[in-house]
Structure 1
Amino acid sequence: MGVIKWVIRIVVLLMVIFVGGAFLLPKETNVSRTVLMNAAPEVIFPYVSNLQATQSWSPWLDRDPDVQLSFNDVPEGVGAAMSWQSDHPQVGSGNMIVIEAQNARRLVTALDFGEMGTATAFYDLVPVGEGTSVTWGFTSDNGNNPMFRWMGLMMDGWVGPDYEKGLNNLKALVEGA
Structure 2
Amino acid sequence: MKRVVKIAGLGLAALVAVLVVVGFFLPRKWHVEQVVLVNAGPEHIYPLVSDLKEWPSWAAWNKDMDPEVKWEYGGPASGPGAWWSWNGPKMGRGKMTITKSEPGSGVWVDEMIETDKEVNAKGSLTWTTQGGGTQITWVDEGTLPPVIGGYFVGFIENMLANNFQTGLTKLKAAAEQRKGAAAAVQAEQEGTAVAAPVAAPATP
Bucket of the pairwise TM-score, normalised by the shorter protein? 0.7 to 0.9
Unaligned runs of 5+ in 2: 179-204
Aligned to 1:123: 125
Deviation at 1:153, TM superposition (A): 2.1
**Which of the pair has more CA radius of gyration?**
2
Aligned to 1:101: 101
Query: Is the CA contact 1:32–1:135 (under 8 Å) kept in the aligned structure 2?
Result: yes
Structure with more of its chain in helix, by fraction: 2
Deviation at 1:67, TM superposition (A): 2.5
Given the alignment of the two structures, is residue 173 of structure 1 paired with residue 174 of structure 2, yes or no? yes
Query: Is the CA contact 1:31–1:155 (under 8 Å) kept in the aligned structure 2?
Result: no
Aligned to 1:83: 85
Q: Distance in 2 between matches of 1:13 and 1:64?
A: 39
Q: Deviations over 1:76-133 (max 9, x none)?
A: 111011111222x2x2221111112234313211111122522112112121112111
RMSD after superposition: 1.8
For residue 74 of structure 1, give the secondary structure of its aligned residue in structure 2.
coil
Give the length in aligned residue pairs: 174
State the TM-score, normalizing by the size of structure 1: 0.88
Q: Deviations over 1:19-74 (max 9, x none)?
A: 12223321311122111111122321221111112122121212234432221140
Q: Deviations over 1:119-175 (max 9, x none)?
A: 1121121211121111212111225x1122211121122221111111101011111
State the TM-score, normalizing by the size of structure 2: 0.77
Aligned to 1:29: 30
Unaligned runs of 5+ in 1: none
Q: Distance in 1 between matches of 2:159 and 2:34?
A: 13
